[in-house]
Chains A and B, each alone.
Chain A
Amino acid sequence: EAGVAQSPRYKIIEKRQSVAFWCNPISGHATLYWYQQILGQGPKLLIQFQNNGVVDDSQLPKDRFSAERLKGVDSTLKIQPAKLEDSAVYLCASSLGLYNEQFFGPGTRLTVL
C-alpha cells in the first residue's frame, strides 16, 4: 500500500513570495491533515479535512495561508505572501476517519530567506 505522498521535498523562497505544497493521501482515507513543524517543536495542526469539507482550521493564519481539497482526495496548501517565520517543515497526514490512526508523509522543508 502506497503511503502519503508530498511534493516538493524542499523549497527555498524569498519573503513575500508565494509557495504551494501538494499532498496525496493514502487511497481511501477520508481525513487529511496539514501540520507545521518548527525545528525543535511538535507538529501544529493547521487544517483538517473530512472528505472535501473543513473540520478544523482554527490555527490556520488565514490572512496568508489557504488550503483546499478538491474532490476529497489530493490537497494543496498555499502561503502568500511568505514570511521569515514560515520557515518550517510542512507535514501532511491522512487517516481512514476522524478518530483513526494518522499516517504521515515525508514532509516539505520550507526555507524563507
Chain B
Amino acid sequence: QKEVEQDPGPLSVPEGAIVSLNCTYSNSAFQYFMWYRQYSRKGPELLMYTYSSGNKEDGRFTAQVDKSSKYISLFIRDSQPSDSATYLCADLEGAGSYQLTFGKGTKLSVIP
C-alpha cells in the first residue's frame, strides 16, 4: 500500500516561530523523500530532497527522515510571511521509479 499521510492543517504561526511539518509513510520500499512548496494557484516547487535517514539543512529549512519509524519532517526556522504556502511531502521508491507518491499537503500561514 503506497500511502503517505500528512496532517492537512491549516497551521497558523506568528512570524519568527519554528514550524514543524510531518508525514508518515507505509511503504518500506520508499527510498527518496522530498518536500515541495506550493503557493496559492501555482504549481509545486521542490524545496528539498533526501534519501537517507538523518537531517539535511538548507538555509532556514531542515528535512529529517527516520526510516525506522517511517516518519519525515520539515522544520522551518525564523518563519516568514513569505513561507505561507501549502507544503507537500512526496516519496519515491527508487532512482528508477517515476511515480512520486504525494501527501495531501499542509497549509501553513505565517502571521506578521
A and B associate: no
Question: Which residues from chain A sit less than 8 Å from chain B, CB to CB?
Answer: none
Interface positions of B (Cβ within 8 A of A): none
